[in-house]
Amino acid sequence: MSVSWPVGFRRSKPSQCGGTDALWGSGHGLWWEQSEGAFLVTPRCRRRILPVLALLSIGLLGCAGIGPGRLGRDQLQYAQAILQAQKRQTLLNIVRLRYGEAPTFLSVNQVVSGYMLEQHGELGLNIYPNAGPGNYATGLGTVTFRDSPTITFSPLSGEDLARTAIRPPSPADLVPLAQGGLPIDVLFRLGVQSVGGLQNTVALRGEESAGSPEFFELLAGMRRLQVRGLLTVRFVRRKDGNQVFLGIADGDDSDTRVTAARTRRLLRMAPGETEAEVVYGRVASRPRQIAILTRPIIAILSQVSCEIEVPPQDIATGRTIYTPPPTLLGQNPIIRVHSGKTAPPSAATAVKYGEVWFWIDDTDFNSKIAYTVLGLLVALVQSTPTGQAPVLTIPAG
């Protein structure tokens, strides 16, 4: 069979990619002209080379949008890191107080995580129309990623230290936490020094440190009523200050009614009253009030520090003092802190002080709940110098 070539066209040599005779400028492929003749990259040739180029291009483009993907992951990681650092700082302050040292409060003001992504790519196509090593495509791609976080810390001092560690919180801020689901007995055991004339335990007071037996009876009764939904907290906002009212309702069964009546008597509520205003102080100034004296954070940490476990040799050498165990029935340490040469890997929180490790056991649920309440109390009164919460900024461009 003969073929007639149009004017201006000429026949090329066979393609090294396996193509047949083709027309110059026919539009069937991409042409390169050399002295030996013309060469066509045929569709079969393109099917071999173009996938390589496409994979390289996709690899480079896939790294372009890193912001949205890292936002959720880094936000959780930074939040977890800040939480763990705060827990260790609180435990270290407890230990330092037990050994007669002053606590330190270092707050996180800002976390700025800056990301930089640089991309560079080169694509090449080498074609040999005559006898040669063969046709092949080359690609070169480089990606540079840099994460440069900046964390700002501020030690608390002056007015901020007084507000955080020395000044007790208002009952109007403390009592509503029970409405949010926190166990009211744990909340009062940590954050309340007295309710009316009923005294909580006091650190380093010798024989008088045990407190009033009726105080712990009150906490047990309030907890039973809270579980049954018979203890309510009503919050009223006013221009001259917020008001909080504590209500105790009677239950359906006789045992619950007895518990409610006994709790109201311990709170010094008049007969027939089911609600009274919570005020700060040791004694109520007028009827229908419940006087609550709250503890500052430094007093809470000091009380917990007296109940932690310390090595006997530290007491023998005078590094710390001996604290008597609780004497009242059922009055166990609110937070059990263990000590030893090494901390277990599964410890909920652990810090090293000198050569000794102190930790809270991960299997001690009651201590973990109490430690969580303690962390919320610290967060309640703690504020940064700017009055803002920690900020996480991720530039996604």
Q: Which residues contact 166 (CB under 8 A, 6 or more apart)?
A: 296, 297, 298
Question: Pick the residue with more confidence: 231 or 13?
Answer: 231
- In the block, tokens 């330092």 appear at 96
Mean per-residue pLDDT of the chain? 76
- Residue 137's H or E segment, with its range, is strand 136-155
Residue 334 has pLDDT above 50, yes or no: yes
Cα 361 to Cα 349: distance, rounded to the nearest angstrom: 8
Query: Mind listing the pLDDT tens digit for each residue in 34-52?
Result: 444 444 445 555 555 556 5
Residue 112 has pLDDT above 80, yes or no: no
pLDDT computed for residue 133 by the predictor: 56
Query: Mind listing the pLDDT tens digit for each residue in 121-142?
Result: 666 666 555 545 555 556 676 7
| Structural domain boundaries in the chain | 67-167+297-397, 171-295
pLDDT computed for residue 342 by the predictor: 94
Cβ distance 57 to 88 under 8 Å? no
Residue 23 has pLDDT above 60, yes or no: no
Question: Pick the residue with more confidence: 273 or 385?
Answer: 273
Q: By three-state DSSP, how is residue 199 classified?
A: strand
The residues that bridge with 243 in the sheet, in sequence order, are: 236
Question: Pick the residue with more confidence: 361 or 284?
Answer: 361
Cα 287 to Cα 156: distance, rounded to the nearest angstrom: 40
pTM listed for this prediction:
0.71
The residues that bridge with 263 in the sheet, in sequence order, are: none
Of the candidates 270, 174, 189, the residue with the CA atom closest to the CA atom of residue 222? 189
Cα 60 to Cα 122: distance, rounded to the nearest angstrom: 10
